[in-house]
Chains A and B, each alone.
Chain A
């Protein structure tokens, strides 16, 4: 190990001594667990009880398809094809409709969405967050990406160990008091329906909020490759059928790359020169101009 590496190691070990004292951890975990358990799944909404096509099968079919864009360009206002009936889940007075085929699962090995009860078409999808709906404590989140109540296009989350090349999902969230409701599905219209079905929360005011922001940052590759990257998280871009808007937004000399397992769009700069903060802001301005709802803080 190099001297500098050793210095990093010894520094981290030394600083770990400043970690908080482990008092009452088990008791605290039990309290937090009990609080989360105070939720009830209720009711079965009207709708056909006949299951025409299991949602799980529909999802797996989509995952094997060659072109995700053609699959997910459905009219967001159309009726979800994969849901044949609805059930309503509720927590603290807020309820949403989810497909009647979905069931509740406890997911042992996922902490990305801090909830003990994940609803989904099957355990694998629910626990890998590729198709789920659930409530969690809002105080465990900083401000989420994107505006509440809107459907966002996203890649599968990083917790999935072997993401496929076409694992695009549609996600959304809502605030409800001290809770946050999150949903991810493979079908844009399904995510939209679930969000639109919510009652007991002030959705109207949430939807009037402007699209939150565009986050731009850049990284310098330490290998001498001089590859500069900038990422922009922009709701309107994520929400859009991306091709046209994104291509317009990319300045000359910039190649677009959509990395696997990421929810952002990444721009790789070919030029080897210095990449100043000013240029980052300029890029952001280009994006903002093209994506009308993409605002900077």
Chain B
């Protein structure tokens, strides 16, 4: 989970009232990658999305620090990069009926609940981008529907619908658990 916005790491030093970019990335980079990873579902896209957001934040870093909380700002950039208008339909979003999930196979001595979560993760990765984003922001970032609506630029009702559809699909894919 993300640390509380605004928390100051001891190693952070302030430049012109803000936090130096490199120091901030060192402290917050891991959280950004974690968020990007659960959003995108894979390492390559997670790294790309975070790098893209950081490269864009860099030239205007002082302005970002002066204007608002850089944590929230860059997290929003990461989310926007993931759901961007230009990328949206470039991913082929398959109907939920096309989701394929491997049968659970617990390894020797493996906790059955771990296998359950692995199946759920696979199902989550197969959700359409909009639904997966809403589910991640709701259940990973623990954001309210209104906050998700603000971040993603859609109406709250749309967010509720996306979360609901996403959870319904996940339930369907998991069957009796």
A contacts, CB < 8 Å to B: 4-5, 7-22, 25-26, 28-30, 32-33, 36, 106, 108-114, 116, 129, 140-145, 157-161, 182, 215, 217-223, 233, 261, 263-264, 277, 280
Contact = CB atoms under 8 A, between A and B. Distances in A.
Contact of B95 (A114, A217, A233): A217
B169 A222 contact: yes
Q: Which of A10, A16, A220 has the most CB of B within 10 A?
A: A16
Contacts of A5: 139, 167
Top 10 nearest A-B pairs (CB, nearest first) are A222-B168, A142-B90, A157-B85, A29-B54, A22-B29, A19-B37, A112-B84, A16-B34, A32-B55, A111-B81
Contacts of B140: 9, 12-13, 16
B90 A143 contact: yes
B165 A4 contact: no
B3 interface: no
B37 A10 contact: no
Interface string B79-123: 011011111111111111100000000000000000011001100
Contacts of B14: none
B90 A223 contact: no
A28 B95 contact: no
B45 to A, nearest CB: 10
Contacts of B26: 22, 25-26
A159 B142 CA distance: 22
Contacts of B148: none
A153 to B, nearest CB: 14
Contacts of A18: 37, 43
A185 to B, nearest CB: 15
Given A12-B136, A30-B58, A142-B91, 15 more contacts: A11-B121, A12-B38, A13-B140, A22-B26, A25-B51, A32-B51, A111-B56, A112-B84, A140-B52, A142-B87, A158-B154, A217-B93, A222-B164, A222-B165, A222-B168
Most buried by A among B21, B50, B139, B167: B139
Interface of B: 1, 21-22, 25-26, 29-30, 32-38, 43, 46-48, 50-60, 63-64, 73, 76-78, 80-81, 83-97, 116-117, 120-121, 124, 128, 135-136, 139-140, 142, 150, 152-154, 161, 164-171, 177
A29 B25 CA distance: 10
Q: Select the residue from A19, A28, A114 with max chain B CB neighbours within 10 A.
A: A19
Contacts of A112: 80-81, 84-87
Contacts of A11: 117, 120-121, 124
Contacts of B124: 8, 11-12
Nearest to A32: B55
A221 B30 contact: no
A145 B90 contact: yes
A20 B150 CA distance: 28
Given A20-B33, A277-B95, A29 B83 contact: no
A19 B85 contact: no
Contacts of B64: 108
Contacts of B97: 277
A99 to B, nearest CB: 22
A108 B168 CA distance: 36
A218 to B, nearest CB: 6
Given A11-B117, A110-B80, A29 B55 contact: yes
A199 B30 CA distance: 43
A15 B116 CA distance: 12
Nearest to A31: B55
Contact of A263 (B1, B21, B81, B89): B89
A159 B33 CA distance: 22
A263 B161 CA distance: 19
B80 A217 contact: no
A219 B84 CA distance: 20
A164 B3 CA distance: 36
Nearest to B163: A222
B77 A19 contact: no
B90 A22 contact: no
Contact of B84 (A9, A106, A113, A221): A113
